[in-house]
Amino acid sequence: AGLLADDADVAGEVRRTYRHFVVDEYQDVSPLQQALLDLWRGPSEEICVVGDPAQTIHSFAGAQASFLTGFTRRHPDATVVELVRDYRSTPQVVALANAVVRGHGPGVELRAQRPDGPDPAFAAAASEAAEAGDVAAWLRARHGAGTPWHEMAVLYRIHAQSPALEAALADAAIPFTTRGSEGFFERAEVRAALRALAATAKAGPDEPPGQALRAALAGLGFTDEPPAGQGTARERWESWSALAGLGDEFARTHPEADVAGLVDELETRARAQHAPTGQGVTLSTLHAAKGLEWDAVAIIGAHEGSLPFVLATSPEQVAEERRLFYVGVTRAREHLRVSWSVTRNGGGQRRRQSRFLDGIVADAAPAATASRGGRKRGTTSALSQTCRVCGRGLTTGAERKLRRHADCEATYDEATWEALRAWRKAEADAASMPAFVVFTDATLMAIAEQMPCDLAALGTISGVGRTKLERYGAGVLAVLAEHR
């Protein structure tokens, strides 16, 4: 781009050589790519762009759908052709796709051209393992009805959601291949954890296998709190967290087993053979599935915290998560199954289906069961908490701290928020530790919104325990006092 901008001779030669430009997937163009396109084109208006603003899912890479939606403002003589006919999917799949994005940003209402097919299926499961088992049964049923393995796919938000699924497919002897990533047990961070656990087993520790695995992961840098932001560090943490979950599940179902037994179990899972590429069911993230299609598609993890992903906190980020779900739905030609699990391992914190299904399918979460102590869950459980702005249920820990959804209107003072962040950074820098160890963003935002007047009120906010109250309480109250 710099050469074209600085050298008129080079720009002229390029423009004489390439006189007509066609740009596909134009909704994913970044500012740099747009600048390069403008330099290639020069004053010429010989340009055709194709795109769908409802499929803008790469904003993290700089994509801006505004280049597509604002094309006619920059080129007032352009001819606009709306491509509304959908030749891929059945009317039932198209109807769901339209419902997901209707009223949520620019886009067209698709019109299906294929004959009718079965209605999309929606299902809740008690745990992620149960959800994976149900998906395996659904895939086998589809295969028994004549759908080839390679014409089926299972899509999920992040790769760390795949281990339970890979185990269920291996147990059911269903061939599969992972798109866009190595298998879960082939990832570098998972292999390193398995080596550390094997070394622990050789040392013959007395601790339970689940605790031994978590200790081995801690030695590699795993913490209970996820790292801030996204990227490699977050993906590594998600892999370790999923592996720790496998260890906890093994310990629960094999109470007499030792660490060596857990090592054997994980190695057995790791040896499960993947099918040759193109011959098995495709496992893929929603991002990696863009541009592809299959006869039968299962989307798993359609619950709050996964879709939308827990790190999507702004309205723009949540809107992109909705578009990502839309992309997943439109990968299916005929058969579509959308599922979620109400807990991770069958107990603990419960979660509801994705808000992207609101108004489309009734909340099908299994009824609450008795707690481990034998008492029924009361009306003051986490699930009973509702958003103080819109009144809908709160599902994630961050939402319950804020007492509202991340995309609902915030009520904190911006100056107070920035002052608290500056105070937190100073505390973290002084102790040479990450800022989230002092307070997470969700806790800090809850403090800014609730503006507690004393230590007692501050201590009632989720995420402010006794230790943090003693260590940081006075400092927090001092900051708040300056902004009342």
Which of 171-175, 185-189, 326-330 is modeled with the greatest confidence? 326-330
The phi, psi pair for 315, rounded to 5°, reads -55, -35
Give the number of other Cβ atoms within 10 Å of residue 9's Cβ. 7
pLDDT, one tens digit per residue, over 387-409 is 655 655 555 555 665 666 666 66
Residue 114 lies in a domain: no
pLDDT band for position 182 (cuts 50, 70, 90): low
Helices marked H in 109-202 — which ranges? 128-144, 162-171, 188-202
| CATH number of the structural domain spanning residue 18 | 3.40.50.300
Residue 460, domain extent = 414-482
Domain end marker among 323, 357, 391 = 357
Q: Are residues 170 and 286 in the same domain?
A: yes
pLDDT, one tens digit per residue, over 293-351 is 999 999 999 999 999 998 888 888 899 999 999 999 999 999 999 999 998 877 777 88
Which of 191-200, 214-223, 298-307, 429-438 is modeled with the greatest confidence? 298-307
Q: How far is CA 310 from CA 181, 238, 320, 408, in A?
A: 21, 12, 13, 15
Domain end marker among 314, 337, 357 = 357
Q: Are residues 11 and 153 in the same domain?
A: no
Residue 33 lies in a domain: yes
Q: Are 280 and 176 in contact, with CB atoms under 8 Å apart?
A: yes
Tokens found for residue 411: 């009520």
Count of structural domains, the chain: 4
Helix, strand, or coil (residue 379): coil
The secondary structure of the chain in percent helix, strand, coil, rounded to multiples of 5, reads: 50, 10, 40
Q: Are residues 458 and 309 in the same domain?
A: no
Whether residue 384 has pLDDT greater than 60: no
Residue 42 lies in a domain: yes
| CATH number of the structural domain spanning residue 434 | 1.10.150.80
Residue 366 lies in a domain: no
Residue 403 lies in a domain: no
pLDDT, one tens digit per residue, over 238-269 is 778 878 888 888 888 888 888 888 888 888 77
Distance (Å, rounded) from C-alpha 403 to C-alpha 397? 10
Q: Are residues 131 and 160 in the same domain?
A: yes
Residue 98 lies in a domain: no
Q: Are 262 and 209 in contact, with CB atoms under 8 Å apart?
A: yes
Whether residue 379 has pLDDT greater than 70: no
pLDDT, one tens digit per residue, over 39-78 is 888 888 899 999 888 888 888 778 888 888 889 999 999 9
Q: Are residues 178 and 298 in the same domain?
A: yes
Q: Are 275 and 149 in contact, with CB atoms under 8 Å apart?
A: yes
> Which pLDDT belongs to residue 396?
55
Q: Are 262 and 213 in contact, with CB atoms under 8 Å apart?
A: yes
Angle in degrees, CA 401, 313, 430, rounded to 5 = 70
Domain end marker among 357, 378, 396 = 357
Q: Are 382 and 349 in contact, with CB atoms under 8 Å apart?
A: yes
Q: Are residues 4 and 77 in the same domain?
A: yes
Tokens found for residue 424: 């937190």
Whether residue 431 has pLDDT greater than 60: yes
Q: Are residues 4 and 76 in the same domain?
A: yes
Q: Are residues 192 and 254 in the same domain?
A: yes
Q: Are residues 353 and 426 in the same domain?
A: no
Distance (Å, rounded) from C-alpha 157 to C-alpha 477? 39
Helices and strands (H, E) in the chain, number of each type? 19, 10
Q: Are residues 176 and 199 in the same domain?
A: no
Residue 231 lies in a domain: yes
Residue 371 lies in a domain: no
Q: Are residues 178 and 284 in the same domain?
A: yes
Q: Are residues 6 and 54 in the same domain?
A: yes
Strand partners, 370: 376
Tokens found for residue 385: 């908490």
Identify the burial level of 391 via C-beta atoms within 10 angstroms of its C-beta, where 0-12 means exposed, 13-18 middle and 19 or more buried: exposed
Distance (Å, rounded) from C-alpha 236 to C-alpha 241? 9
